[in-house]
């Protein structure tokens, strides 16, 4: 009780900031749109956003209501054109300063969250005094009611969530494209430095054989043997490049056997523990395979490890991979150990990479790819809570009664003037109340049908809009 009163006092003291912020906001908007002092608008928006974010944090801390910020994603920094100039609308600039300013100004102006914050600020100074009696009598209930009011104006909308997901998908797409480009450069380098050089050497050797075949057959035979050995090495090189693109064992036998093959080829003593009743999709398998391959290679080459453990398991619809080695530790993603490349691979699947590598070891890398496993793995992840399921079943089981017999059928009996009242409730009432009761029954029945449809639809929409953080390296 005392804690609730203390929180309410803090909430009311918050008016000291809100009340002067309203005229200041009005003045800044007047100067912005009346006198053209556009540089004031971002300051005004960020000031109101700061007050709104403080309110969200307090409600999040004091109640169980999570108020997500409703703002659209911030625009990316300007990208230069081929000629090095930066475009903003129809104007070109030598530096990105003005295009970045214009993008930020448009973002703040067109974001509905900016104006919802302003509406909350104006109404909040009225709502709080009106709730004072409830704060005094039932402080906890009043605080929760105020949190619901804050969520109404300051919470995220479907549009803001979708915009956030689109922005996140663009970032992951760019990361995936960067990873693909890096792989293509690696393959090109391998072919140029290895296979191509060997083929050129074979061609030169065969040219020499052509000149010596008549004059010195013995020397020609020796060169032919050399060309044969070179062709065998070239074939081995090509197979290595192919395995780097997509290993045949991965395509034919799946992730489990492909990781076990990696363990057999590793110079370390590698223990593999895989619990995957079914195969993931091919892109997921490839990302996990190359991530494990890179980690085992790092452990052997850079960590001087002698033993390693690979654990791949399913956690509902999520795929979890853990690689531990007994090397000297001290792994740092900024030193080019390949962790950044693994991070880019995982980012395409909203993957998270966590690194724990103290000096002296051991090194543990844990990766989790959310919602990448087939639907039948997920069990009841996508099912509604039990109370929602019971509510939907009860609605479908009972909605027919007020809609048809107590509503539509009773109305038909009323129109036809049938004297039989049977069990139709409305027909047993006085004449004045019969039609209101019939129409009310139909309305109640239709409302129950709408609820029975809306509850699962809302649950599915909430599930689809649930996001995950982008891949990151934790040290």
Asked if pLDDT for residue 457 goes beyond 50, the answer is yes
Least confident of 98-102, 214-218, 244-248, 414-418: 244-248
Same domain, 289 and 232: no
Beta bridge partners of 356: 364
| pLDDT score at 241 | 66
pLDDT in tens, 183-223: 677 677 767 777 777 788 888 888 888 888 778 888 888 88
Task: Tell me how far apart the alpha carbons of residues 18 and 457 are, in angstroms, rounded to a whole number.
Answer: 38
* φ and ψ at residue 365, rounded to 5 degrees: -115, 120
| pLDDT score at 293 | 87
Contact of 341 with 372, CB cutoff 8 Å = no
Asked if pLDDT for residue 310 goes beyond 90, the answer is yes
| pLDDT score at 380 | 42
Mean pLDDT of 1-5: 79
Least confident of 310-314, 341-345, 432-436: 341-345
| Count of structural domains within the chain | 4
Mean pLDDT of 267-296: 87
Asked if pLDDT for residue 466 goes beyond 70, the answer is no
- Taking alpha carbons only, the member of 275, 254, 345, 330 closest to residue 298 is 330
Structure tokens at 462: 């909430």
* φ and ψ at residue 311, rounded to 5 degrees: -125, 120
Same domain, 211 and 311: no
Same domain, 210 and 240: yes
Q: Of the residues 96, 127, 156, which one is the last residue of a structural domain?
A: 156
Q: Over the chain, what is the mean pLDDT?
A: 81
The secondary structure element, H or E, covering residue 160 is helix 158-190
Same domain, 287 and 422: no
Beta bridge partners of 271: 309
Asked if pLDDT for residue 298 goes beyond 80, the answer is yes
pLDDT in tens, 55-74: 999 998 888 888 888 888 88
Kindly state whether residue 323 falls inside one of the protein's structural domains. Answer: yes
What does the chain come to in residues? 475
Kindly state whether residue 23 falls inside one of the protein's structural domains. Answer: yes
Higher-confidence residue: 173 or 382? Answer: 173
Kindly state whether residue 474 falls inside one of the protein's structural domains. Answer: no
Asked if pLDDT for residue 250 goes beyond 60, the answer is yes
Domain range for residue 428? 386-464
Report DSSP state, residue 268: S
| pLDDT score at 55 | 92
Same domain, 232 and 262: no
Same domain, 31 and 152: yes
Kindly state whether residue 95 falls inside one of the protein's structural domains. Answer: no
Using 50, 70 and 90 to split pLDDT, how confident is the model at 472? very low
Using 50, 70 and 90 to split pLDDT, how confident is the model at 309? very high
Place of tokens 């649930």: 466
Contact of 92 with 60, CB cutoff 8 Å = no
CATH number for the domain spanning 362: value is: 3.30.565.10
Same domain, 394 and 446: yes
Structure tokens at 373: 């496993």
Asked if pLDDT for residue 474 goes beyond 50, the answer is no
Same domain, 393 and 375: no
Kindly state whether residue 133 falls inside one of the protein's structural domains. Answer: yes
Using 50, 70 and 90 to split pLDDT, how confident is the model at 302? confident
Task: Tell me how far apart the alpha carbons of residues 353 and 339 are, in angstroms, rounded to a whole number.
Answer: 9
CB atoms under 10 Å from CB of 314, counted, come to 19
Using 50, 70 and 90 to split pLDDT, how confident is the model at 180? low
pLDDT in tens, 352-384: 888 888 888 889 999 998 888 865 444 444 566
Contact of 292 with 245, CB cutoff 8 Å = no
Task: Tell me how far apart the alpha carbons of residues 85 and 92 are, in angstroms, rounded to a whole number.
Answer: 6
Q: What percent of the chain has pLDDT over 70?
A: 86
Task: Tell me how far apart the alpha carbons of residues 381 and 316 are, in angstroms, rounded to a whole number.
Answer: 7
Least confident of 16-30, 130-144, 169-183, 371-385: 371-385
Three-class DSSP category at 93: strand
| pLDDT score at 470 | 35
Mean pLDDT of 293-305: 86
Task: Tell me how far apart the alpha carbons of residues 380 and 460 are, in angstroms, rounded to a whole number.
Answer: 13
Kindly state whether residue 423 falls inside one of the protein's structural domains. Answer: yes
- Taking alpha carbons only, the member of 253, 198, 249 closest to residue 227 is 198
Kindly state whether residue 422 falls inside one of the protein's structural domains. Answer: yes
Same domain, 29 and 147: yes
pLDDT in tens, 61-110: 888 888 888 888 888 888 888 788 888 877 888 888 888 888 888 888 88
Q: Of the residues 245, 269, 302, which one is the last residue of a structural domain?
A: 245
Asked if pLDDT for residue 47 goes beyond 90, the answer is yes
Mean pLDDT of 33-58: 90
Q: Of the residues 156, 184, 212, which one is the last residue of a structural domain?
A: 156
* φ and ψ at residue 310, rounded to 5 degrees: -120, 125
Same domain, 138 and 203: no
Same domain, 42 and 62: yes
Mean pLDDT of 216-239: 80
Mean pLDDT of 141-160: 83
| pLDDT score at 169 | 65
| pLDDT score at 174 | 62
Mean pLDDT of 40-45: 91
CB atoms under 10 Å from CB of 363, counted, come to 24
Kindly state whether residue 137 falls inside one of the protein's structural domains. Answer: yes
Same domain, 6 and 148: yes
Using 50, 70 and 90 to split pLDDT, how confident is the model at 51? very high
Contact of 280 with 255, CB cutoff 8 Å = yes
Mean pLDDT of 415-426: 80
């Amino acid at each position: 009780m005392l804690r609730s009163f203390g929180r309410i006092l803090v909430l009311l003291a918050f008016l000291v900031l809100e009340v002067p912020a309203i005229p200041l906001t009005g003045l800044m908007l007047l100067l912005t749109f009346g006198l053209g002092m556009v540089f004031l608008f971002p300051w005004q928006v960020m000031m109101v956003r700061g007050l709104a974010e403080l309110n969200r944090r307090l409600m999040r801390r004091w109640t169980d209501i999570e108020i997500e910020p409703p703002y659209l994603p911030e625009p990316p920094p300007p990208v230069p054109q081929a000629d090095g100039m930066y475009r903003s609308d129809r104007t070109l600039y030598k530096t990105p300063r003005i295009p970045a300013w214009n993008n930020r100004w448009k973002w703040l102006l067109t974001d509905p969250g900016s104006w919802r914050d302003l509406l909350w600020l104006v109404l909040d100074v009225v709502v709080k005094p009106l709730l004072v009696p409830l704060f005094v009598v039932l402080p906890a209930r009043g605080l929760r009611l105020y949190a619901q009011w804050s969520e109404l104006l300051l919470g995220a909308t479907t549009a803001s969530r979708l915009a956030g997901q689109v922005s996140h998908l663009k970032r992951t797409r760019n990361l995936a494209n960067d990873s693909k480009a890096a792989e293509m450069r690696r393959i090109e380098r391998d072919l140029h430095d290895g296979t191509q050089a060997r083929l050129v050497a074979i061609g030169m050797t065969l040219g020499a054989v052509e000149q010596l075949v008549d004059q010195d057959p013995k020397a020609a035979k020796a060169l032919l043997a050399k060309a044969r050995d070179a062709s065998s090495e070239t074939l081995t090189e090509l197979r290595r490049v192919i395995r780097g693109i997509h290993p045949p064992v991965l395509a034919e036998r799946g992730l489990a056997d492909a990781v076990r093959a990696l363990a057999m080829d590793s110079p370390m003593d590698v223990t593999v523990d895989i619990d995957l009743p079914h195969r993931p999709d091919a892109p997921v398998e490839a990302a996990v395979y190359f991530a494990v391959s890179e980690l085992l290679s790092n452990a052997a080459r850079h960590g001087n490890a002698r033993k390693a453990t690979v654990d791949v398991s399913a956690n509902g619809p999520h795929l979890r991979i853990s690689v531990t080695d007994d090397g000297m530790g001290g792994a740092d993603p900024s030193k080019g150990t390949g962790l950044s490349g693994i991070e880019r691979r995982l980012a395409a699947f909203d993957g998270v990479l966590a690194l724990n590598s103290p000096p002296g070891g051991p090194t543990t890398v844990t990766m989790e790819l959310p919602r990448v496993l087939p639907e039948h793995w997920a069990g009841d992840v996508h099912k509604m809570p039990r109370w929602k399921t019971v509510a939907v079943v009860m609605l479908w089981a009972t909605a027919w009664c007020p809609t048809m017999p107590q509503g539509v059928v009773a109305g038909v009996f009323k129109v036809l003037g049938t004297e039989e009242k049977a069990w139709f409730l409305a027909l047993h009432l006085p004449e004045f109340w019969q039609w209101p009761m019939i129409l009310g029954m139909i309305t109640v029945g239709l409302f129950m049908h709408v609820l029975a449809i809306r509850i699962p639809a809302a649950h599915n929409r909430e599930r689809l809009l649930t996001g995950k953080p982008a891949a990151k390296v934790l040290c």
